[in-house]
Amino acid sequence: MVTVMELYQLLPRTNCKKCGESTCMAFAVALLGRKKNVAECTPLLEANFKPQKEKLESLLLPTAGAEETGLIVHPELCTGCGNCVVACPVDVANDPHGAGMGCAPTNEKVIFKVVDGKVMASNIKECRRFGKSKVLCYACIDPCPTGAIEFV
Amino acid sequence: MDIGKFLKSPEYEIKITTYRDIFQAEAMERDRFGEEYKMLSAAISISKIDMQKMGLKPKDRVKISNSYGSIIVEAKETKKDEPGGLAFMVNSPWSNSLVSGDTQGKGIPEYKNINAKISLSKEEITTLEKLIAPFIKKPIPF
Amino acid sequence: MATCTGCALLCDDIEAIVENNRIKETRNACRRGAARMKGCVNRLVPSIDQKPTDIESSIRKTVEIIKNARSPMLFGLDNSTCEAQAKGIRLAKKLNAVIDDTSSFCQGLLIERILQKKLRTCSLDDIRNKADVLVYWGSDAQDSQPRHLSRFSYFPRGESRQRGYEEDRKAIAIDVRESNTAKICKGHFYRIPLKGDREFILALIEALSGKVPAYDTKKMLELAGILKKAEFGAVFVGIGLTYSIKEDFDILTALAEKLPNFNIMPMVGHYNMRGFNEALFKETGFVNRVKLEPKAVHDNKYSIMESLIRKNTDAIIVVGSDPMISLPRPVLTYLASIPVICIDPCISMTSKIAAVTIPCAATCMESGGTAIRMDGKVISLSKIITSEYMPDEEIMDRLMEAI
Ligand code: SF4
Ligand code: SF4
Ligand code: SF4
Ligand code: SF4
């Protein structure tokens, strides 16, 4: 998956602030977090930056499949083991006697569900990585045996 | 004259152990004569270090043989870094082609302890049809 | 709710959405389970000498073959219900046949020890509720029993394990390779050389006895320290360990003695292999490799491998198993040379060389019954779709009647 550094390398790196961010690095972070669009860096629209702009757009393309908050499940890697279902603190809190105990989720408030042998994410707005009191939670990424979950 | 055709690919001794893979098990549930099952079974995972030692690249086809059988499979690099000296195959009719029938009277074959020779090959990957062919008495439609 | 028969965890929390008598979608089943529940693409058809026929003719031909056999064998039944297994054992008895199953070259020796109460064991529910130290030994549960860690062992909150796995449980992997399970065990992965289990156990016993182990001293003392502190531990014995120590199970017993707070759990693959072992054990005192004369005689020569190597079997009924896939190549020539009767829902490598094939219903989709989970708990399987196929239990009945 693309990193902040990769994005940064492709920017004009002049820190001109036209994008509304104080530095190019800050803009790169915002790009990765889907808070800004490539087009907001107006210097990039100039002809001599065309290859960089196209590269940036292609790097950011996979997120078309991402949920609004940037959580991506790669279904081809997922084994459907359910580790993430049980380990996600939101699932435990919202379904303590189902998902939290390793059983099938008993309500629709959980984030992860296994459908046809692969995980599907919903209710992503509940994820602890987002919202006002966000924390950098790794509880679904760490237990995944195949690296099928990613945040972009 | 094509010198290359007189040069045999170097042969190496290799120790193989078998393991299970959920993707291959899934393919088996669906269709054990299918392409997916073949692709996930007819392969050997070798550590990066050993690949380099033997001059192999991922996706190369290799011939693995011993006195029990001989197969052509795809070489892959192990997903995680392995120290080398041991290669891995998913348990399947391909790996079983290399397992001894001698159990020293105990009834348990050495599925996880295979010694064989490996070399680069240009032949096609062995199919399940080919593995089973010697045992079929009459031709049957697949 | 449906039960998945993809492995011996027998997950009974599966939601199967049925449309037009087909399973359209599964929920909660892992990747393997989902594929199993949706069924195989190539169903078996009745045949004699590879020519399609009707099921009645197949059954008649089977009876003719086994009646004429001098030394018939019944093999498999690990993918059958307890009900079918009981009938299979009765059939073998009536035929004075040899009976064996895949546990013969899998976890049979371990399950025998457990049924003989020579090794301490517990239920998977106990593990979920109480276990704090988990040892996956020669077992890649993530790939073989994919929901093991999430349903029972590592991730779930249990009665006395309420704080989550990071705080409440420690998972340890001992293996020859860094498996998916080992990856999850992160800092507690002990890599051992191929066939190195015995030496590792001996060193661990030394460390647990307060001696300084000769082998990898630092890591061994660290491991012994973790194990000693366990309130309720479990060792999940995979075939990696079973194959490595072979018949030398006393060494595992010796280790278990040093670990009084630990239980041994056999990691079983086929969904009802334990059921077969328990049924035969109850009947004969042995878990496999038995000749029913009809008095039960147990001998290694009655194992599927030795029966084929010694060419002792002259006809074989294979139920829900694919020995052409799972046995070493050198014994396949003989297997293919004798009349094989293959009873299975799907086309298999064995069905391709069979003299007679009899299709049966897929358990837990098209037929119900009970099965025994890897920990010994009886789980019921319910039928969720209708089909024209006979359950294997009924096929056993039909063969019994005809003989
Ligand atoms: S507009 Fe572009 S060049 Fe200017 S600071 Fe933002 S990212 Fe950098
Ligand atoms: S990051 Fe944490 S809260 Fe968000 S989905 Fe993953 S486990 Fe759940
Ligand atoms: S932990 Fe990973 S492999 Fe398991 S269900 Fe979740 S995403 Fe899939
Ligand atoms: S873990 Fe085993 S029983 Fe459970 S859903 Fe997966 S294959 Fe089926």
Say if residue A65's pLDDT is above 50. Answer: no
pLDDT of residue B138: 56
Mutation pick from A74, A86, A144 vs chain C, by most beta carbons of C within 10 Å, is A86
Per-residue pLDDT at A67 exceeds 70 = no
Residue C1 scores a pLDDT above 70: yes
* All partners of chain C with 3 or more CB pairs under 8 angstroms: A, B
Closest chain C CA to residue A117: C31
CATH of domain A4-63: 1.10.15.40
Q: Please tell me which residue of chain C has the smallest CA distance to A118.
A: C31
Residue of the CA atom closest to atom 4 of ligand 4? C11
Spatial contact of C226 and C188, defined as CB atoms under 8 Å apart: yes
- What are the tens digits of pLDDT across the range C108-124? 999 999 999 999 999 99
Taking the centre of ligand 4 as the mean of its atom positions, its distance from the CA of residue C34, in whole angstroms, is 8
- DSSP secondary structure string, B19-71? E--HHHHHHHHH-TTSHHHHHHHSEEEE-HHHHHHTT--TT-EEEEEETTEEE
Confidence of residue B5 (pLDDT cuts 50, 70, 90): low
Residue C17, pLDDT above cutoff 50: yes
**Residue nearest (by alpha carbon) to ligand 2 atom 2:** A137
Q: Where are the domains of chain A?
A: 4-63, 71-151
Confidence of residue A35 (pLDDT cuts 50, 70, 90): confident
Burial class (CB in 10 A: 0-12, 13-18, 19+), C68: exposed
What would the pLDDT profile of C74-107 be if each residue is shown by its tens digit?
999 999 999 999 999 999 999 999 999 999 999 9
Residues of chain C in contact with residue A83, where contact means CB-CB under 8 angstroms, are 149-150, 154-155, 184
Q: Which residue is closest in CA terms to ligand 3's atom 3?
A: A78
- Which tokens in the block code for residue A41? 């860096």
**C301 contacts in B (CB within 8 Å)?**
105
pLDDT score of B7: 63
Kindly give the distance from the C-alpha atom of residue A39 to the centroid of ligand 4, in angstroms, as a whole number: 47
Among B20, B22, B68, select the one facing C328 at the smallest CB separation.
B68
> Mean pLDDT score of chain B, rounded to an integer?
91
ipTM, 2 decimals? 0.95
pLDDT, tens only, C46-66: 999 999 999 999 999 999 999
* Index of the ligand 1 atom closest to the CA of residue A21: 6
- Enter the tokens of residue C204: 């661990």
For residues C59 and C46, the answer to whether their CB atoms sit within 8 Å is no
* Per-residue pLDDT tens over the stretch C216-256: 889 999 999 999 999 999 999 999 999 999 888 899 999 99
How high is the mean pLDDT of chain C?
A: 95
Among the partner residues C31, C49, C246, nearest to B108 by beta-carbon distance: C246
Give the integer Cα–Cα distance in Å for C323 and C325: 5
Please report the beta strands in chain A, taking only residues with DSSP state E, as ranges in sequence order: 71-73, 112-115, 118-121, 149-151
Collect all residues of chain A within an 8 Å Cβ-Cβ radius of residue B22: 79
User: Among A46-60, B40-54, B120-134, C67-81, which stretch is predicted with the lowest mean pLDDT?
Assistant: A46-60
Q: What is the pTM for the complete model shown?
A: 0.88
Per-residue confidence (pLDDT) for residue A47, from 0 to 100:
80
Kindly report, residue by residue over A105-118, the tens digit of the pLDDT: 999 999 999 999 99
| C347: amino acid identity, one letter | I
User: How far, in Å, from the CA of A89 to the mean position of ligand 2?
Assistant: 7
Interval A10-15 mean pLDDT:
92
Structural domains of chain B, count? 1
Q: Predicted confidence band at C328 (pLDDT cuts at 50, 70, 90)?
A: very high
**Interchain CB contact of A79 with B (< 8 Å):** yes
* Per-residue tokens: C384: 């969720």
> Is residue B141 one of the residues assigned to a domain?
no
Instruction: Please answer yes or no on whether A83 and C150 come within 8 Å at the CB atom.
Output: yes
Nearest-atom number in ligand 4 for the CA of C146 is 1
pLDDT over 60 (residue B27): yes
Alpha carbon of C237 to those of B120, C135, C175: distances in Å? 37, 8, 11
> How much of chain C exceeds pLDDT 90, in percent?
94
Asked if the C-beta of A102 comes within 8 angstroms of chain C's C-beta atoms, the answer is: yes
> Which residues of A, range 11-70, sit inside 8 Å of C by Cβ?
none
Please say if the pLDDT value at position A2 is more than 70. no
- pLDDT at res. A25: 87
The model's confidence at residue A132, banded by pLDDT at 50, 70 and 90, is low
| Among candidate residues A17, A53, A16, A49, the one with its CA nearest the CA of residue A37 | A53
Q: Is C151 on the interface with A (CB under 8 A)?
A: yes
Q: Is A145 on the interface with B (CB under 8 A)?
A: no
Amino acid (1-letter code) at residue C231:
E
Residue B5 lies inside a defined structural domain of this protein: no
pLDDT at A63 over 70: no
C18-57 pLDDT tens trace? 999 999 999 999 999 999 999 999 999 999 999 999 999 9
Inter-chain residue contact C164 with A92, CB threshold 8 Å: yes
pLDDT value at C363 more than 90: no
Nearest CA in chain A to C128: A101
Query: What whole-number distance in Å separates Cα of residue C348 and Cα of residue C30?
Result: 23
Specify the pLDDT at position C327.
Answer: 97
Nearest to B26 by CA among B18, B37, B15, B34: B37
With 60 as the cut, is the pLDDT of residue B100 above it? yes
Q: Is residue B4 within 8 angstroms of chain C, CB to CB?
A: no
DSSP H or E run through C173: strand C170-175
Q: What is the pLDDT of residue C278?
A: 98
Q: With residue A127 as reference, give the H or E element that holds it.
A: none
pLDDT > 90: what percent of chain A?
47
Give the pLDDT confidence of C134-186 residue by residue, as tens digits. 999 999 999 999 999 999 999 999 998 988 898 899 999 999 999 999 999 98
| B6: confidence class by pLDDT, cuts 50, 70, 90 | low
- The pLDDT > 70 percentage for chain A reads 91
Q: State the residue range of the domain holding B110.
A: 10-132
How far does residue C95's CA lie from ligand 2's centre (Å)? 59
In a domain, B112, yes or no: yes
Task: Pick the residue of A76, A79, A119 with the most B CBs within 10 A to test the interface with B by mutation.
Answer: A79
User: Is A123 in a helix, a strand, or coil?
Assistant: coil
Q: How many CB atoms lie within 10 A of CB B130?
A: 12
- Site to substitute for ligand 4 among C23, C37, C147, C365, most atoms within 8 A of C-beta: C147
Most confidently predicted of A19-23, A57-61, A98-102, C318-322: C318-322
pLDDT at A1: 56
Q: Tell me the shortest Cα–Cα distance from B81 to chain A, in angstroms.
A: 15
Q: Is C98 exposed, middle or buried (0-12, 13-18, 19+ CB in 10 A)?
A: buried
CA gap C24, C32 in Å, rounded = 15
Looking at residue B141, its pLDDT comes to 47
A92 lines ligand 2 (CB under 6 A): no
Tell me how many helices (H) and strands (E) chain B has: 5, 6
Q: What is the pLDDT of residue A151?
A: 86
pLDDT per residue as tens digits for the range B53-89: 999 999 999 999 999 999 999 999 999 889 999 999 9
Q: Is residue B3 part of a domain?
A: no
Q: Which of A145, A87, C90, C331 is nearest to B96 (CA)?
A: C331
- Domain annotation for chain C: domains and CATH numbers: 42-103+271-369+376-402 (3.40.50.740), 108-266 (3.40.228.10)
pLDDT, residue C5, reads: 97
Distance CA(C374)–CA(C271), nearest Å, equals 8
CATH of the domain at B66: 2.40.40.20
Give residue A62's pLDDT: 52
How far apart CA B52 and CA B78 sit, in angstroms, is 13
Query: Is the confidence at residue A79, as pLDDT, over 70?
Result: yes
pLDDT bracket for residue C300 (50, 70, 90): very high
